[in-house]
Chain A
């Protein structure tokens, strides 16, 4: 049965490289599938009751199930069942003999349950990490607490350790609501645990002994070191996703600490579980040293100093260390301890039962199982490796002609791994999971592509037989330019960017085209004359602002929609809009008014809205709206001003650059009536392919094709704003950017009233006789000016940043008698 279990575990691992889902999954499969099975096997061995084997069997079968790609819900449920079974084993042990450490290990098992349940609920993998740590760290430290009874450790010291573990669990609970704060609390607790272990743990003493006892102590102490490193990284840097820090934070704890514990205990646990005599040999120090050295290289050289070579070498050597260790352990298990020289034939005969266990098939089975397990560990590790920049999930294993599976994770705004190495002739299958919060897809330059995936959705993409380097990207507009790219490189090639020839971008995708790769793509639309007459049917945005009504509550319902419209003479673009116009409708009220803005998302993309006049954490007030969904934003305008509202969905530059902005006018209480009010929203326009969306690379480069007031170059040259001579007029100016500032100026006039940054900087009848010529409006800011044009005629207005004025940021006020 044991052999079967170990063999099964190995099969799990053996199939990992071919089929497993995301790199993240390897972490969970290693923690719950592999280590969880090991720990559950230990408890079942100790408990000596058949039902206790349910836990390890469920965990192992569940892992295999997941590894071969069977329906995940069953595999994840089995893993959950494993956690429940282990908890039950601790309850049974509690009945045999009640103890604090056993109860704490039970808490660890509950961590397993929580992690598995979160996974089953398809929660973000990163949320699981603290709970996986609760399971492994609490289980291990509880065992050290048990052993501390053998030392002269005071009751107070033991209570301190229990308290630190409680803090750790509290951190994990907090992390479910606030991952950054939770992880820091956990990190502080890890440092506490490390300090305690170095001060009080048995290993400190047993390291002075000899043989296997010393080996264990060295492994333990080295592991404690990594626990401290992990704690410092968790405490110091909080929550990270999929970057070098994440790599370091995870591997310090799960490889450095946990695997070192496994190394340390294996020489004792393996023979006990397998009932095989074990000959400890000092050669086991070699893989132990390799593990720690390679992890140091990986974290210091790779993650901290961002050396790709160090990262890669460290990662691969991690694998070699694990392999070497398993090989060393297996060899030691195979060395049969000889009975003492003086033994008689009778003794040999009497020990028949013992020797029967050494029967060739059993030994062979164990050996094969252990070796396959080594392969499993190795690939599980290399799979994890692929979560960073230069994945090598197939390196060294993908013989030409073989089929290789690689897990791909999509999220804002990256694709992991960003590089997949495949030998020419490899049939590459990608298992693509959207781990982000909005919809993504993956398209490869050979034409293979997935459908748009909803958050949490997974699909399999057959990339075909790899004969050349490929590029991959997300086709959702803006996402490619924002970083959602990956590539498939051939075999032994280096992973430098130049090794993968850029795919021909033309026609890659609607709208964005290949524009992402250069500032001005040949496919971008061009306007031969920005000042030419707009096409028939074009209507300017009505800039006039009617007086605010009596109501202090403003209820509006807007539809988020993609609208194909003329944005300049000769240029048609698909704009992302608030209620069909660019800029969106003006919201208008007074200080203290309530705004209830309902947005219905008619697009196939997630959007949200950020009212600059609203206060609160973005997670709470800038609720994202999924395609097809609707949401009502409520807020009270507590402060006066000409506010910007805009879509705050990443990539924000793309969403704002493609039309998602507008003005919110909140009148100060003492605002004097005027004859006419206008609202002008300044912005930049970036032409993408004709009929497509804006060119994100131009947005990034701050290279607009036009700078406009209210969405169209020279809109109010074509349809001038109108006023009467002698009227006092007020112009509200908001700059939506996304990047350029405005210097609003009216030619032939000056302002006697200026309101900026929530205050009047100039009022009529200024005691010092002051006047204003331009008002500076930065992106995301706004204000108003008042002026009187006493003589009839045409008064141009513009941004006095002249290069912007000549590409559209200008208009006319026609003053009649």
Chain B
């Protein structure tokens, strides 16, 4: 039983659990999940409504819709999730520095 399955089974959800779950949403071009990429700025859970504030690496990227759908699909598996809102923001701009070490390692950064 994976962590997500366990959480789903428990029916409980908080922001950390959402973040954990969002590790399943992969940027298909990079093969790296959106959390480790540092795209997720803020997660709030209030009475089953998940509000996510996030960015993309560039505003010209057309993947916003795709990633929103993936997030929806991922989170709606939780029985306790009643709604998901995704707010795409451009401030502050995304920078490579916000990537986690795991993402950097996956992308071949050294040192």
Q: Which residues of A contact B (CB under 8 A)?
A: 41-43, 45-48, 90, 93, 96-97, 99, 101-102, 105, 146-147, 149-152, 202, 205-206, 209-214, 216, 265, 267-269, 271-273, 275, 277, 280, 337, 339-340, 342-344, 346-347, 350-351, 354
C-alpha spacing A43/B95, complex, angstroms:
21
User: When each residue 68-111 of chain B gets 1 if its CB lies under 8 Å from chain A and 0 otherwise, what string results?
Assistant: 01001100110101110000001001011001000010011110
A216-B65 contact in complex given A149-B96, A151-B109, C-beta closer than 8 Å: no
12 contacts between A and B (CB under 8 A): A45-B62, A90-B60, A93-B59, A105-B60, A149-B57, A150-B99, A202-B107, A205-B107, A272-B66, A277-B73, A339-B76, A350-B81
A152-B109 in contact given A213-B29, A268-B28, A271-B69 (Cβ < 8 Å): yes
Least Cβ–Cβ distance between A644 and chain B, in angstroms = 62
CA of A151 to CA of B57, assembled, Å: 13
Residues of B within 8 A of A205 (CB): 107-108
Q: In the bound complex, do residue A45 and residue B65 qualify as a contact, i.e. CB atoms below 8 Å apart? A: yes
Say yes or no: A272-B96 contact (C-beta < 8 A), given A213-B28, A347-B76: no
Contact flag A216-B8 (CB < 8 Å), given A151-B109, A346-B79: no
CB pair B77–A216 under 8 Å, yes or no, is no
Instruction: Write the residues of chain B forming the contact surface with A, with a CB cutoff of 8 angstroms.
Output: 5, 8-9, 26, 28-32, 37, 57-67, 69, 72-73, 76-77, 79, 81-83, 90, 93, 95-96, 99, 104, 107-110
Given A272-B63, A337-B73, A350-B76, the answer on whether A206 and B57 have CB atoms closer than 8 Å is no
Q: Are B109 and A46 in contact (CB under 8 A)?
A: no
Residue on B nearest A348 in the bound complex, by CB: B76
Distance of A342 from chain B, by nearest CB (Å): 7
CB distance from A649 to the nearest CB of B (A): 50
| Contact, CB under 8 Å: B59 / A96 | yes
- Is A102 within 8 A of B58, CB to CB? yes
| B65 and A273 form a contact (CB under 8 A) | yes
Q: What residues of chain A lie closer than 8 Å to B95, measured between beta carbons? A: 149
Known: A46-B59, A101-B58, A213-B29. 11 other contacts (CB 8 A): A93-B59, A97-B59, A97-B93, A101-B60, A105-B60, A206-B30, A213-B28, A273-B62, A339-B76, A340-B77, A343-B77
Is the beta-carbon distance between B58 and A97 smaller than 8 angstroms? yes
Specify the chain A residue showing the minimal Cβ separation from B32. Answer: A150
Q: What A residues does B57 contact at CB under 8 A?
A: 146-147, 149-150
Which residues on B sit within 8 Å (CB–CB) of A90?
60
B79 & A347 in contact (Cβ 8 Å cutoff): yes
How far apart are the CA atoms of A96 and B59 in the complex, in Å? 7
Chain B hits for A216, CB < 8 A: 28-29
Distance, CA A370 to CA B95, complexed state (A) = 36
Whether the Cβ atoms of A213 and B58 lie closer than 8 Å is no
By a CB distance below 8 angstroms, the chain A residues around B73 are 277, 337, 339, 351, 354
Task: Report chain A residues within 8 Å CB of B37.
Answer: 150
Instruction: Report yes or no: B77 in contact with A339, Cβ–Cβ below 8 A.
Output: yes
Query: Which of B60, B62, B66 has the largest count of A CB atoms less than 10 A from its CB?
Result: B60
Q: Are B58 and A342 in contact (CB-based, < 8 A)?
A: no
Contacts of A102 in B (CB 8 A): 58-60
* Bound-complex Cα distance A93 to B108 (A): 29
Question: A347 to chain B: which residues have CB within 8 Å?
Answer: 76-77, 79
Closest 6 pairs between A and B when the two form their complex, measured CB to CB: A272-B66, A213-B31, A209-B31, A42-B62, A45-B62, A96-B59
Question: In the assembly, what is the distance between CA of A211 and CA of B29, in Å?
Answer: 10
CB closest chain-A residue, reference B9: A342
Docked CA distance A272–B58 (Å): 15
**CB of B13, distance to nearest CB on chain A (Å):** 13
Bound state CA distance, A214 and B29, in angstroms?
Answer: 9
Q: Are A152 and B110 in contact (CB under 8 A)?
A: yes
Contacts of B5 in A (CB 8 A): 342
Nearest CB of B to A178, in Å: 34
Question: Cβ of A150 and Cβ of B58 under 8 Å apart?
Answer: no
* A265-B41 Cα distance, complex, nearest whole Å: 26
- Most chain-A Cβ atoms within 10 A of its Cβ — which of B69, B83, B95? B69
Closest to A106 in B: B60
* Nearest residue, chain A, Cβ from B92: A97
Of B37, B59, B64, B95, which is in contact with the most chain A CB atoms at under 10 Å from its CB? Answer: B59
Tell me how far the C-beta of A152 lies from the nearest C-beta in chain B, rounded to whole angstroms. 5
A273 to B73, CA, bound (A): 17
Name A342's contact: one of B8, B65, B66, B67 (CB within 8 Å): B8
The answer to whether B62 and A46 have CB atoms under 8 Å apart is yes
Q: Are A213 and B30 neighbours in the complex by a CB distance under 8 Å?
A: yes
Contacts of B77 in A (CB 8 A): 339-340, 342-343, 347
**Cβ of A159 to closest chain B Cβ, rounded Å:** 16
Q: How far is the CB of B7 from chain A (nearest CB, A)?
A: 12
Which residues does chain A contribute within 8 Å of B81, judged by CB atoms? 350
A147-B29 contact, Cβ under 8 Å, with A277-B73, A354-B72? yes
B67 CB to closest chain A CB (Å) equals 8
Q: Kindly state the separation between the CA atoms of A280 and B37 in the bound complex, as whole angstroms.
A: 22
> Which residues of chain A are within 8 angstroms of B104 by Cβ–Cβ distance?
152
Chain B residues, Cβ within 8 Å of A147:
29-30, 57
A43, B60: Cβ atoms closer than 8 Å: yes
What CA separation (Å) do A96 and B55 show in the bound complex? 12
B66 cross-chain contacts in A, Cβ below 8 A: 268, 271-272, 275
CA distance A273 to B67 in the complex (A): 11
Which of A202, A271, A275, A339 lies in contact with B30, CB distance below 8 A?
Answer: A202
- Are A151 and B107 in contact, with the CB atoms below 8 A? yes
A46 touches B99 (CB 8 A): no
**Chain A residues within an 8 Å CB radius of B110:** 152
Contacts of B8 in A (CB 8 A): 342
* Shortest Cβ distance from residue A338 to the other chain B in the assembled complex, whole angstroms: 10
Chain B residues within 8 Å of A42, by CB: 60, 62
In the assembled complex, the Cα of A761 lies from the Cα of B79 at a distance in Å of: 107
Cβ–Cβ < 8 Å partners of B109 in chain A = 151-152
Q: Taking A97-B58, A346-B79 as contacts, is the C-beta distance between A152 and B108 under 8 angstroms?
A: yes
With A97-B93, A151-B107, A205-B107 as known contacts, state yes or no: A354 contacts B58, CB within 8 Å: no
CB atoms of B59 and A47 under 8 A apart: yes
**In the complex, what distance in Å separates the CA atom of A42 from the CA atom of B79?**
34
Please, how many angstroms separate the alpha-carbon atoms of A695 and B29 in the complex? Answer: 65
CA distance A101 to B61 in the complex (A): 11
A265 to B8 alpha-carbon distance, docked (Å): 33
What chain B residues lie within 8 Å of A96 (beta carbons)? 59, 90
Q: In the complex, A414→B99 CA distance in Å?
A: 59
Which residues of A are found within 8 Å of B67, using beta-carbon distances? 272
CA distance A76 to B65 in the complex (A): 32
Chain A nearest CB: distance from B81 CB in Å? 8
Chain A, residue nearest B77 (CB): A340
Residue of A nearest to B83 (CB): A350
Q: Chain B: which residue is nearest A148 at the CB level?
A: B96
Task: Verify A269–B59 contact, CB threshold 8 A.
Answer: no
Given A147-B29, A152-B110, A340-B77, residue A97 in contact with residue B96 (CB < 8 A): no
Docked Cα-Cα span, A337 to B72, in Å, equals 13
Q: Which among A272, A337, A346 is the interface contact of B64 at CB below 8 angstroms?
A: A272
Across the two chains, which residue of chain A brings its CB closest to B74? A340
Chain B residues, CB < 8 A from A45: 62, 64-65
Most buried by B among A48, A150, A269: A150
Asked whether, in the complex, the Cβ of B63 is within 8 Å of the Cβ of A268, the reply is yes
Q: Of residues B8, B29, B93, B99, which shows the largest number of chain A Cβ atoms within 10 Å of its Cβ?
A: B29
| A354–B71 alpha-carbon span in the complex (Å) | 12
Instruction: Give the residues in chain A near B32, CB-CB below 8 Å.
Output: 150
Distance A273 CA – B99 CA, assembled complex (angstroms): 26
Which chain B residues lie closer than 8 Å to A273 at the CB level?
Answer: 62, 65
Select which of A212, A340, A354 is within 8 A of B28 by beta carbon. Answer: A212
In the complex, which residues of chain A have a beta carbon less than 8 angstroms from the beta carbon of B28? 212-213, 216, 267-268, 280
